[in-house]
A and B are shown apart, each in its own frame.
Chain A
Amino acid sequence: KQEVTQIPAALSVPEGENLVLNCSFTDSAIYNLQWFRQDPGKGLTSLLLIQSSQREQTSGRLNASLDKSSGRSTLYIAASQPGDSATYLCAVKSGATNKLIFGTGTLLAVQP
């Protein structure tokens, strides 16, 4: 059974810092991995999608990497801003199913 873990559960950094969020999964047979952002009480916004054949994806100040063999993904945020404050969720899609398995998220606070 696929399980997804995100560490740390919460993170507070001063504005301008570069930071890394971690996601690990127990079954390496994944189809893709997706990083989302969720603002308080709101829905999810897709940030980056990495296919199983890819090693990383970049969008602006965000860079996500994937190491399937070790069951890990990282989300790197460069030059953090207060507007980056949110909960970041990772989710994996295993094999040919359409089911996303989510982690519990990392709550990020960027202090001005």
Chain B
Amino acid sequence: ETGVTQTPRHLVMGMTNKKSLKCEQHLGHNAMYWYKQSAKKPLELMFVYSLEERVENNSVPSRFSPECPNSSHLFLHLHTLQPEDSALYLCASSQKVAGLAGTYNEQFFGPGTRLTVL
């Protein structure tokens, strides 16, 4: 495997289900991101993890719960979602530049998980 991989690629779930999205990066990066892409809207940043510590959370509802157990893996745990949460969820990774606080190189994206909430 190379680059950034995501599983599953497609997911259909009911509003009462609990599921998890998985992302793995094989680039040796130290920062990982979750984005949401809804129809006709710009990509929205949801969470950022740097060195396995959450450094940004853009007021995402608590029904989305991220987890970053190590620098290569990122999860998004889902529970009691709403139909408006149906979207393409994209994972990305990048490398934080040593010595420059808050500075990161370009982000590389995975193929995404197409989520449908019924």
Interface residues of A (CB under 8 A from B): 4, 31-32, 34, 36, 41-46, 49, 89, 91, 93, 96-105
Stretch at the interface among B14-22, B38-46, B59-67, B77-85: B38-46
Residue pairs across A and B with CB atoms within 8 Å: the count is 60
Nearest chain A CB to B85's CB is how many angstroms away?
17
- Asked if B40 contacts A43 (CB within 8 A), the reply is no
- Asked if B48 contacts A98 (CB within 8 A), the reply is yes
Given A41-B114, A102-B43, A104-B41: A96 and B100 interface contact (C-beta under 8 Å): yes
Chain B residues bordering chain A, tally (CB within 8 A): 31
8 Å CB contact of B109 from A31, A44, A96: A44
Which label, helix, strand, loop or mixed, suits the secondary structure of the A interface?
Answer: strand
* 17 A–B contacts, CB within 8 A, in A order: A4-B42, A32-B106, A34-B106, A43-B112, A44-B92, A46-B107, A46-B108, A93-B104, A96-B100, A96-B102, A96-B103, A98-B50, A98-B96, A98-B104, A99-B56, A100-B45, A102-B43
Nearest chain A CB to B113's CB is how many angstroms away?
10
Residues of B with C-beta under 8 A to A103: 42
Give complex CA distance A93, B105 in Å: 10
Residues of A with C-beta under 8 A to B110: 43
Per-position 1/0 for B32-54, Cβ under 8 A of A = 01000000111101001010000
Tell me if B72 counts as interface (CB < 8 A to partner A).
Answer: no
Nearest chain B CB to A49's CB is how many angstroms away?
5
Give complex CA distance A77, B114 in Å: 29
- Asked if A42 contacts B112 (CB within 8 A), the reply is yes
* Given A41-B114, A98-B55, A104-B40, 17 extra CB contacts under 8 A: A31-B103, A41-B112, A42-B112, A43-B111, A44-B90, A45-B109, A46-B107, A96-B100, A98-B48, A98-B50, A98-B102, A99-B48, A99-B56, A100-B45, A101-B42, A102-B43, A103-B42
